[in-house]
């Protein structure tokens, strides 16, 4: 996790003293335990052997306890001039933890770096020259985009941005299911609804986009219920599934894509059956994709590549066929992968109807993405409920395409629920993303924006706060953990919420705007004569760990680490803000500043902390720099 020169120096010195190459440093949860902590003494004791380093001649007896070993290590470390230039003190805590406290000048140097280069702060070259493909969201057309899809989108977009902050070139991939049993259920249900509602496709076309998609969603719910409870309906849907695969091929051919697979070699599907659903399939697919783009635009997601199941399914179908006997085998009219020899389970890749399953489509997806973007790493964001399925898929991919399989890694998200119980598209009681965001906006307008704002301001602010509330509420939970989304807690201005961070950011900008002060070109030594209070030091020390947190989050796929860090930073800054006066020169004229809860990183003042006169004393200059740096990070 070496992500800054101070951390690297501590690691270098520890290696020199102990002779151990792999050393981990932790960031203590409590400030009194310093900026970094090492359990190296406990590790040395666990080796149960003498350690002798040629340079520092570190020795300890097997009877020494970890605390005694730590004393020996610290004694040697304190003789390292390069290290002591970075750290102020080194202490031993507990059974033998070694805690390092950074020199105040080092902390001040970091502060100056933030305010002088805000656009570069927090970035690293950990993944420099590496290409990373991140596949996420992966919705199914012919139904509404609900809260379950949202967790993949929010998580995936965050992972992309974290990789980019660590120097990677990222390819955002969206894999959507435009064919499959789920589509057959939708089309079957829509046609039944047409009959019951006495309407036609032409009537559906007259509705607005959201109404069309909602109607298709009710069709999916009806088809799903019938598929599970009515054997005749199930047979009809399975037959329709084959018809729709052929419709998808016909659609592709009309767009210049030549089909490579014959899904109906025995000619069981008639032209009449194709014509009966072709127009509904084409238009429903088009409406769905248009609808999904409105969601992506609203959420701030822009994909580099789109991969429909209808296209990659053919690639996967051929890969499976080519590897029968080597990787796959035929079984009861289907083609399967026997995973038991790898400690896994058997999965069907081509079913008895001669159609590629989801497994085969994923198999074809990997080379399809690689054709567009020659990635070094492929990350796929999926729900943890299909973790075991993905383990089988990755193993099959390693055998078929080793180069791709060995760099493919699923990230499994947890399940999100809401107070009140179970939901799902097949039950017809989904919470759509559009509806949820609009509900959040209504609450925000009622609580915080009921007076003093124009309608245009209310629309802009409520949308920003709603998005921040929703995304933060999802990302603050560790990936893989289930959680309940509490809509009221998510919009609170108190506690661990997105609006709390947005409000704190707005507070920093209000101070900077009111100050009408600009920073001088400062050096750490300019502030070294100041006696910093505990609240100032708490913010200063916390700012120094941002780069570390970014590095840790990409290593562990953990956006929640950033959320936790930002929440703690906001708490520390607000404690400092409430206890100490930042603008000290009373002659400065302040202006009313309407924060509007804005969280626009690109709207920071052109000068680092405002415009106008230069601050006349170091305390004020320091506190304004501290405020500016906090705003930059938030």
CA distances for 403 relative to 317, 376, 377, angstroms: 19, 9, 10
Which of 456, 459, 470 lies closest to 499 in space, CA to CA? Answer: 470
Mean pLDDT (the chain, rounded): 89
What is the distance between the alpha carbons of residues 334 and 497, in angstroms, rounded to a whole number? 50
Decide if pLDDT at 574 tops 60.
yes
End-to-end CA distance of the chain: give it in Å, rounded: 22
User: Which residues are CB-contacts of 607 (< 8 A; sequence separation ≥ 6)?
Assistant: 518, 519
* Res 62: pLDDT: 67
Decide if pLDDT at 518 tops 90.
no
C-beta atoms surrounding 544 within 10 Å? 23
Percent of the chain with pLDDT over 70: 88
Structure tokens of 392?
Answer: 């089988």
For the segment 220-241, the average pLDDT, to the nearest whole number, is 96
Q: Output the CA angle 44-50-51, nearest 5 degrees.
A: 65
Q: Among 285-289, 382-386, 397-401, 421-425, which is the least confidently predicted range?
A: 421-425
More confident residue, 419 or 67: 67
Structure tokens of 12?
Answer: 């270098």
Structure tokens of 154?
Answer: 């929010």
Decide if pLDDT at 54 tops 80.
no
Q: Among 13-27, 339-353, 396-410, which is the least confidently predicted range?
A: 13-27
For the segment 257-270, the average pLDDT, to the nearest whole number, is 93
For the segment 433-444, the average pLDDT, to the nearest whole number, is 95
pTM, two decimal places:
0.89
Query: pLDDT band for position 35 (50/70/90)?
Result: very high
Domain boundaries, the chain: 5-102, 139-306+360-427, 433-488, 498-633
The per-residue pLDDT for range 427-437, each reduced to its tens digit, is 445 789 999 99
For the segment 458-481, the average pLDDT, to the nearest whole number, is 96
* Res 600: pLDDT: 39
Decide if pLDDT at 259 tops 90.
yes
Which of 99, 97, 113 lies closest to 31 in space, CA to CA? Answer: 99
Query: pLDDT band for position 119 (50/70/90)?
Result: confident
The domain at 139-306+360-427 falls in which architecture? 3-Layer(aba) Sandwich (3.40)
What is the distance between the alpha carbons of residues 252 and 11, in angstroms, rounded to a whole number? 57
Query: pLDDT band for position 398 (50/70/90)?
Result: very high
User: Which residues are CB-contacts of 350 (< 8 A; sequence separation ≥ 6)?
Assistant: 317, 320, 321, 334, 335, 356, 357, 360
DSSP string, 48-108: TS----TTT-----TT--HHHHHHHHHHHHTT-HHHHTTEEEEEEETTTEEEEEE-HHHHH
Mapped onto helix, strand or coil, the DSSP state of residue 473 is helix
Q: Running DSSP on this structure, what letter comes out for residue 132? A: E
More confident residue, 240 or 609: 240
Helix (H) or strand (E) holding 103: none
Query: pLDDT band for position 55 (50/70/90)?
Result: very low
Q: Output the CA angle 500-501-502, nearest 5 degrees.
A: 90
For the 5-102 domain, the top CATH level (class) is alpha beta
For the segment 55-70, the average pLDDT, to the nearest whole number, is 73
Q: Is there a contact between 380 and 408 (Cβ–Cβ < 8 Å)?
A: yes
Q: Is there a contact between 330 and 315 (Cβ–Cβ < 8 Å)?
A: no
Decide if pLDDT at 174 tops 60.
yes
For the segment 143-165, the average pLDDT, to the nearest whole number, is 94
Q: Is there a contact between 350 and 364 (Cβ–Cβ < 8 Å)?
A: no
The per-residue pLDDT for range 578-591, each reduced to its tens digit, is 999 998 754 433 33
* Res 618: pLDDT: 82
User: Which residues are CB-contacts of 273 (< 8 A; sequence separation ≥ 6)?
Assistant: 243
What is the distance between the alpha carbons of residues 444 and 438, in angstroms, rounded to a whole number? 10
What is the distance between the alpha carbons of residues 224 and 213, in angstroms, rounded to a whole number? 16
The per-residue pLDDT for range 96-109, each reduced to its tens digit, is 999 999 999 999 99
Q: Output the CA angle 268-273-279, nearest 5 degrees.
A: 140
For the segment 75-82, the average pLDDT, to the nearest whole number, is 94
Decide if pLDDT at 317 tops 80.
yes
Decide if pLDDT at 208 tops 50.
yes
Decide if pLDDT at 117 tops 50.
yes
Mapped onto helix, strand or coil, the DSSP state of residue 12 is helix
- Residue 519 φ/ψ region, left for φ over 0, alpha for ψ in the -120 to 50 degree band, beta for the rest: beta
Fold of 498-633: Isoleucyl-tRNA Synthetase; Domain 1 (1.10.730)
Helix (H) or strand (E) holding 617: none
* Res 583: pLDDT: 84
For the segment 219-229, the average pLDDT, to the nearest whole number, is 96
What is the distance between the alpha carbons of residues 175 and 362, in angstroms, rounded to a whole number? 9
Q: Tell me the β-bridge partners of 517.
A: 613
Query: pLDDT band for position 527 (50/70/90)?
Result: confident
Cite the DSSP H helix spans in 476-617: 487-490, 498-515, 524-527, 534-543, 546-556, 559-579
More confident residue, 608 or 295: 295
C-beta atoms surrounding 255 within 10 Å? 6
Query: pLDDT band for position 533 (50/70/90)?
Result: very high
Q: Is there a contact between 384 and 155 (Cβ–Cβ < 8 Å)?
A: no
Which of 138, 135, 129, 167 lies closest to 379 in space, CA to CA? Answer: 135
DSSP string, 387-433: HHHHHHHHHHHHHH-HHHHTTEEEEEE--EEBTTB---GGGT---BH
């Amino acid at each position: 996790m070496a992500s800054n020169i101070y951390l690297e120096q501590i690691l270098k010195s520890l290696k020199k003293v102990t002779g151990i190459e792999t050393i981990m440093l932790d960031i203590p949860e409590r400030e009194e335990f310093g900026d970094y902590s090492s359990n190296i003494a406990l590790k040395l004791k666990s080796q149960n052997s003498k350690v002798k380093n040629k340079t520092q001649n570190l020795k300890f007896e097997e009877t020494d306890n970890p605390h005694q070993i730590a004393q020996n290590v610290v004694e040697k470390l304190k003789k390292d001039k390069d290290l002591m230039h970075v750290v102020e003190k080194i202490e031993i805590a507990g059974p033998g933890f070694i805690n390092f406290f950074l020199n105040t000048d080092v902390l001040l140097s970091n502060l100056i770096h933030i305010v002088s280069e805000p656009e570069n702060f927090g970035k690293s070259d950990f993944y420099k020259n590496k290409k990373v493909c991140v596949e996420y969201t992966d919705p199914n057309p012919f139904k509404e985009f609900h809260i379950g899809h949202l967790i993949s989108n929010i998580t995936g977009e965050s992972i992309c941005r974290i990789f980019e902050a660590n120097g990677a070139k990222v390819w955002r991939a969206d894999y959507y299911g435009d064919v499959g049993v789920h589509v057959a259920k939708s089309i079957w249900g829509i046609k039944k609804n047409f009959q019951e509602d006495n309407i036609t496709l032409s009537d559906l076309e007259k509705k607005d986009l959201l109404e069309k998609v909602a109607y298709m969603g009710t069709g999916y719910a009806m088809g799903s219920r019938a598929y599970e409870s009515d054997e005749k309906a199930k047979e009809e849907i399975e037959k329709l599934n084959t018809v729709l695969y052929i419709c998808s091929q016909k659609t592709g051919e009309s767009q210049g894509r030549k089909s490579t697979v014959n899904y109906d070699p025995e000619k069981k599907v008639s032209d009449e059956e194709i014509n009966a659903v072709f127009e509904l399939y084409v238009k429903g697919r088009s409406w769905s994709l248009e609808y999904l783009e409105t969601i992506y635009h609203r959420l701030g997601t822009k994909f580099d590549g789109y991969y429909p199941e209808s296209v990659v399914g053919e690639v996967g179908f051929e890969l499976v066929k080519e590897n029968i006997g080597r990787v796959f085998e035929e079984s009861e009219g289907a083609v399967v992968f026997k995973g038991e020899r790898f400690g896994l389970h058997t999965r069907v890749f081509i079913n008895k109807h001669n159609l590629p399953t989801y497994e085969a489509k994923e198999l074809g997806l990997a080379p399809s993405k690689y054709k567009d973007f020659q990635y070094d790493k492929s990350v796929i964001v999926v729900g943890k409920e299909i973790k075991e399925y993905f383990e089988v898929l990755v193993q099959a991919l390693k055998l078929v395409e080793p180069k791709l399989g060995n760099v493919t890694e699923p990230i499994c998200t947890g399940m999100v629920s809401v107070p009140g119980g179970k939901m799902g598209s097949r039950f017809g009681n989904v919470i759509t993303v559009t509806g949820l965001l609009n509900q959040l906006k209504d609450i925000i307008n009622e609580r915080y924006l009921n007076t003093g704002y124009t309608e245009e301001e209310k629309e802009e602010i409520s949308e920003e706060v709603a998005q921040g509330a929703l995304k933060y509420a999802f990302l603050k939970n560790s990936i893989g953990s289930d959680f309940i989304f509490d809509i009221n807690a998510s919009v609170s201005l108190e506690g661990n919420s997105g609006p709390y961070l947005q409000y704190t950011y707005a507070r920093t900008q209000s101070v900077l705007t009111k100050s009408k002060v600009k920073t001088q070109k400062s050096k750490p030594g300019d502030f070294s004569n100041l006696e910093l209070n505990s609240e100032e030091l708490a913010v200063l020390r916390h700012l120094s760990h941002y780069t570390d947190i970014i590095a840790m989050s990409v290593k562990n796929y953990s956006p929640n680490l950033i959320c936790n860090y930002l929440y703690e930073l906001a708490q520390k800054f607000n404690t400092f803000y409430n206890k100490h006066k930042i603008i000290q020169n009373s002659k400065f004229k302040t202006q009313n500043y309407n924060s509007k809860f804005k969280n626009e990183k690109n709207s920071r003042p052109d000068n680092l902390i405002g415009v106008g006169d230069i601050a006349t004393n170091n305390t004020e200059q320091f506190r304004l720099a501290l405020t500016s740096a906090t705003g930059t990070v938030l």
